[in-house]
Amino acid sequence: MAREEQALLSTEIVNRGVEASGPDAGSPTFSVRVRRRLPDFLQSVNLKYVRLGYHYLISHGVYLATIPVIVLVCGAELGSLSRDELWSKVWGEASYDLATVLAFLAVLAFTISVYIMSRPRPVYLIDFACYKPADELKVSKAEFIELARKSGKFDEDSLAFQSRLLAKSGIGDESYMPRCVFEPNTNCATMKEGRAEASTAMFAALDELFEKCRVRPKDVGVLVVNCSLFNPTPSLSAMIVNHYKMRGNILSYNLGGMGCSAGVIAVDLARDMLQASGAGLAVVVSTEAVSFTWYPGKRRSMLIPNAFFRAGCAAVLLSNRRRDFHRAKYQLEHVVRTHKGANDRAFRSVYQEEDEQRIKGLSISRDLLEVGGHALKTNITTLGPLVLPFSEQLMFFAGVLFRHLFPSKASTPAPADGSSAAAAPYIPDFKRAFEHFCMHAASRDVLEHLQENLGLRASDLEASRAALHRFGNTSSSSIWYELAYLEAKGRVRRGDRVWQLAFGSGFKCNSAVWRAVRRVRRPSRSPWLDCVDQYPARMDAHQ
């Protein structure tokens, strides 16, 4: 256990500059920082999650295995007969009456009807819209620190800590913050400020969505809204119903406290309600109230969200009507959800509480990277059998089986010269399963660890890094800003598969897989239109 714990730690020597006062004045000072790394979850895959993925695949794909067998058997039988022999068997050696033929046709029609009606309808993504705040809400890293200092809510140590976080966050100088958080001697986390921030973001995204899709709000049958920290009464979903005067029998849901992965959960809920109710159209709204994540205290674990979370919102229109296939952009292929809340460390890794001065804030645990790595391990291992090519599945499963049958050999360290790779696990090539990756843009460090552990290229996470640099961590809506980036670049073609992966408090890790049903042309309205041509060069210049 001690060896495993030590393997998750990394050390870093930090130059703290020249000592200004004291007996060591004028001398350079250094400190050693010990941090937790994202665990190599491919080294410790649990076999039960591999079985879960294959069970999910088999339970939903039995007909894919039986139909080819039936076709082969019938084809072999019919292929052995000549045309005259086949005609003789059908008409010459059998006698039919009208009642028999009609009964056969009736049974066949009934069977086909039951099969078609019992199949869940595919869920299509018609379009989506991302909120772009007004330019006056832009804040650079230097302006962030200066406004925070002028607010009088932070001491110099807290400001220095937030400045160091911003420097290595991966966020650029054009992300958006509500100005109320910087107002001196005021509490920004009020119901009035929260409603104003949430309504501005949600209504702007929904106005654009309804206009782009040419859909009336009264046509929507299902509404799902997710916002983790701001949950007023009446709810945010009720605010939308009231603002757009939606119909009285709408199925509306409001998801709160579910963190940055709630966007995928909202899509999953909307899909289930569409299939259960036949409502036709569903709208998903994902947002976060930054004023309620703002912490004006001194505890460092609670200051972390200040440096990363930024204003953002996304609205998505889903449909299970077959006639919408021709105008849809994507079809939902899979949703895989993982919840690690049974583990106490995972449950408390992202935790809202009060500090010693009874100031409310969102505390980020030191265990977050490790907890997130285990959740990712479970989620990806379950998703793998559903999306990876058979050759990748075979190699990956063989490696997992070998490590469980021969743990002593699998744990033997490889030679220092790298001459033998027998002990190294086989890392599946997820680039063969997906053309595009939309990983939750939490921070630069998280994206770097994801790239390393999944064996991805820097270009695979370009959309995630660009969204982080331009808009910051917009919580559950970040995966939609990343997809908007790919569309603005004109990279999504028919048949391309998109992997959206998000994780958040609880601790949860969720994946959604989409397949493009047509080539997605560069949209006329997008939060990226005025700057997409400057990426990735702009974020490379800030590295």
Task: Please check whether residue 183 is in contact with residue 210, taking contact to mean a CB–CB distance below 8 angstroms.
Answer: no
Distance CA 295, CA 276 (A): 41
Active site residue 74: no
Task: Please check whether residue 291 is in contact with residue 188, taking contact to mean a CB–CB distance below 8 angstroms.
Answer: yes
The one catalytic residue in 440, 453, 509, 510 is 440
Token pair 């009088």 in the structure block, residue: 152
The one catalytic residue in 180, 188, 320, 436 is 436
DSSP secondary-structure letter at 528?
T
Distance CA 238, CA 232 (A): 10
Where do runs of H (alpha helix) occur along 8-79? 47-60, 62-79
Compute the 3-state secondary structure of the chain and give helix, strand, coil in percent, each to the nearest 5. 50, 20, 35
The one catalytic residue in 231, 339, 343, 531 is 339
Residue 149, classified by CB atoms within 10 Å of its CB into exposed (0-12), middle (13-18) or buried (19+), is middle
Q: Which helix (H) or strand (E) holds 333?
A: strand 330-339
Active site residue 440: yes
Active site residue 453: no
Is the torsion defined by CA of 169, 171, 173, 176 positive or negative? Answer: negative
Q: What is the CA radius of gyration of the chain?
A: 27
Q: Which helix (H) or strand (E) holds 338?
A: strand 330-339
Q: How many helices (H) and strands (E) does the chain have?
A: 19, 15
Task: Please check whether residue 143 is in contact with residue 176, taking contact to mean a CB–CB distance below 8 angstroms.
Answer: no
Take residue 175 and report the two structure tokens written for it: 């992300």
Token pair 């695979």 in the structure block, residue: 460
The one catalytic residue in 213, 260, 313, 438 is 260
The one catalytic residue in 254, 469, 509, 510 is 469
Task: Please check whether residue 516 is in contact with residue 494, taking contact to mean a CB–CB distance below 8 angstroms.
Answer: yes
Task: Please check whether residue 435 is in contact with residue 497, taking contact to mean a CB–CB distance below 8 angstroms.
Answer: yes
Q: Where are the beta strands (DSSP E) in 220-294?
A: 222-226, 251-255, 281-287
**Beta-carbon neighbour count of residue 453 at 10 Å?**
20
DSSP string computed for 125-169 = EEEEEE----GGGEE-HHHHHHHHHHTT---HHHHHHHHHHHHTT
Active site residue 542: no
Distance CA 474, CA 45 (A): 30
Distance CA 89, CA 426 (A): 55
- At 17 the three-state DSSP class reads strand
Active site residue 436: yes
Q: Find all residues with CB under 8 Å of 30, minimum gap 6, and list them.
A: 13, 14, 15, 16
Q: What angle do CA 348, 354, 358 make, to 5 degrees?
A: 165
Task: Please check whether residue 446 is in contact with residue 38, taking contact to mean a CB–CB distance below 8 angstroms.
Answer: yes
**Beta-carbon neighbour count of residue 538 at 10 Å?**
16
- Nearest residue to 487 via CA among 514, 509, 510: 514
Active site residue 180: no
Q: Give catalytic residue positions.
A: 260, 339, 436, 440, 469, 473
